[in-house]
Amino acid sequence: MRMTDTSDLWWKTAVVYCLDVETFMDWNDDGVGDLDGLAHRMDYLAELGVTCLWLMPFYPTPDKDDGYDITDYYGVDARLGHHGDLVEILRTARDRGMRVIADLVVNHTSDKHPWFKASRSSKDNPYRDFYVWRDEPPANPADTVFPGEEDGVWELDEKTGQYYLHSFYSHQPDLNVSNPKVREEIAKVMGFWLELGLSGFRVDAVPYFLEAVTPEDPEDRDGPGRDSAADGTGDDDYSDPHEYLRSLRGFLGRRTGDGILLGEVNLPREEQVTYFGGDEADELTMQFDFVGMQNLYLSLARGDARAVAQALADRPRLPREAQWANFVRNHDELTLDKLTEEERQEVFEAFAPEEEMRIYGRGITRRVPSMLEGDPRRIRMVYSLLFSLPGTPVLFYGEEIGMGENLDVGGREAVRTPMQWSSGPNGGFSRASERRLVAPLVEGGFSPEHVNVADQRHDQDSMLAFVRTLIAQYRNSTEIGWGDVRVLDQPHTSVLAHEVAGAQGQMIALHNFGPERLTVPITVPDGTGTTRLVDLLQAGETDVAEDGSAEVVLDGYGYRWLRVVHEDSRRLL
The DSSP code for 131 is B
Q: What are phi and psi of 287, to 5 degrees?
A: -140, 145
What is the chain's pLDDT, residue by residue, as a tens digit (573 residues)?
444 456 689 999 999 999 999 999 999 999 999 999 999 999 999 999 999 999 999 999 999 999 999 999 999 999 999 999 999 999 999 999 999 999 999 999 999 999 999 999 999 999 999 999 999 999 888 888 888 888 899 999 999 999 999 999 999 999 999 999 999 999 999 999 999 999 999 999 999 888 877 554 534 433 333 333 444 334 456 668 899 999 999 999 999 999 999 999 999 999 999 999 999 999 999 999 999 999 999 999 999 999 999 999 999 999 999 999 999 999 999 999 999 999 999 999 999 999 999 999 999 999 999 999 999 999 999 999 999 999 999 999 999 999 999 999 989 999 999 999 999 999 999 999 999 999 999 999 999 999 999 999 999 999 999 999 999 999 999 999 999 999 999 999 999 999 999 988 999 999 999 999 999 999 999 887 778 999 999 999 999 999 999 999 999 999 999 999 987 665 656
Q: How many helices (H) and strands (E) does the chain have?
A: 17, 22
Sign of dihedral through CA atoms 392, 375, 306, 548?
positive
- Provide DSSP, 149-216: T-S-SEEEETTTTEEEE-SS-TTSPBB-TTSHHHHHHHHHHHHHHHHHT--EEEETTHHHHHHTTS-S
Would residue 237 show up in a list of annotated catalytic residues for this protein? no
H-run or E-run covering 543: strand 541-544
Nearest of 68, 77, 95, 70 to residue 34 by alpha carbon: 77
Q: What are phi and psi of 495, to 5 degrees?
A: -110, 135
CATH topology of domain 114-165: Oligo-1,6-glucosidase; domain 2 (3.90.400)
Please state the pTM of the whole predicted model: 0.94
Would residue 333 show up in a list of annotated catalytic residues for this protein? no
- From the list 85, 264, 289, 346, the catalytic residue is 264
Task: Return residue ranges of the chain for CATH 2.60.40.1180.
Answer: 484-566
- From the list 77, 85, 204, 282, the catalytic residue is 204
Which residues lie closer than 8 Å to 530 by C-beta, 6 or more apart? 566, 567
CATH topology of domain 484-566: Immunoglobulin-like (2.60.40)
Q: What are phi and psi of 18, to 5 degrees?
A: -95, 135
The DSSP code for 440 is P
Distances (CA, A) of 563 to 256, 518, 573: 36, 20, 8
